[in-house]
Amino acid sequence: MNTHIIDHYAAQIPILPGEYLPAYLARLRKLTNGVDPKRLMSFSGSVQLGKLHQLFPRVASCFAYRESAREYSGALLKEHLGARFWRGFTDEQAYREHIKCVKIRVKSKRSVFEGEEILDGLKPMKFCADCRVADIEKYGAPIWHATHQITSMYSCAVHGKPLLSFHLKAGETLLDYPLINDEVLSLGSVIKSDELRNWLNNQSSQLLKISSEDNRNRLRDVKSSMASAMGARETTRSMHVDITYRLEWRKYLSSALTRLCPSAQSYAFFSGKASLGLAQQLKQAAPVRHPLVFLLAMKFAEDATEFKAS
């Protein structure tokens, strides 16, 4: 087993319980400022941290699956990257194929989650003010929590209070804010609760309580129930959904995403994205789908039919 230089520093500055893995890497990078970044970050094939706000950031997966720590990779991803939540939305074979690319540090042919990049605007950093105080008391450091970064979570599961959002400015990364400092606190804005956010938060909280495999089985049953409620038919090649439902879904998706992130650009271009279409959300064999989009499809089915998510 090869030992990478980052393992030496990770042993001295360990990741804290529940800490968001990309933020930990940014914190480690900051605290090892005198170390050659090429040596420190060579495990990921780059000196850059890259995109850290996605559900499955490449640098975080490279860190989790580095040769010296692969026996702990599952625990790292589950506790520190919210994998208990999002793994249920991926086909296991598609996930493993992506991991093969990660381990040999080559670019995967496809993203793990369709729609990830065009949903960037919906992914501010989030934190709980009470957790921040508690973390300072326990660890002396106000850390970013992994569960708070799940796209469809809007309240703290521990304190039951609305999360605060913090938007990184253009050109900024977590290297600028590896911890929730006073500036973050002063600029953080409370995420206002509404019927849609409350629904998404409740569904996400339920998914966090069960294993990835149980999530996958539950979502498989949910898809069947949604398809049945809409009278959809799946063949070996396609999913047939009534045109009325398809058109109404596009309107609903655009409206919902605009409400969730009103400052973002118009979502009119969603009409041309087959991967975000209703048929794609209902297919049993679709290998990957973005969790937020699928949860919105569940809410759409509840509103448009007699389907009930829970």
CB-CB neighbours of 181 under 10 Å: 12
Beta pairing partners, 166: 125
Contact indicator for 297, 199 with CB cutoff of 8 Å: no
Strand ranges for the chain from DSSP E:
125-127, 164-166, 189-190, 233-234, 239-240
Res 269: pLDDT: 54
Sheet of 125-127: strand order equals 125-127, 164-166, 189-190
Res 120: pLDDT: 67
Res 262: pLDDT: 61
Res 2: pLDDT: 60
Q: How far is it, in rounded angstroms, from Cα 207 to Cα 218?
A: 9
Q: How far is it, in rounded angstroms, from Cα 16 to Cα 54?
A: 21
pTM greater than the 0.85 cutoff: yes
Res 162: pLDDT: 96
Contact indicator for 237, 249 with CB cutoff of 8 Å: no
Res 267: pLDDT: 53
Res 110: pLDDT: 67
Res 181: pLDDT: 97
Weakly modelled stretches of the chain, pLDDT under 50: 1, 266
Q: How far is it, in rounded angstroms, from Cα 139 to Cα 142?
A: 8
Task: State both tokens at 129.
Answer: 């003010």
How far, in Å, are 25, 43, 62, 182 from residue 67 at the CA level? Answer: 17, 9, 9, 37
Task: State both tokens at 295.
Answer: 């949860």
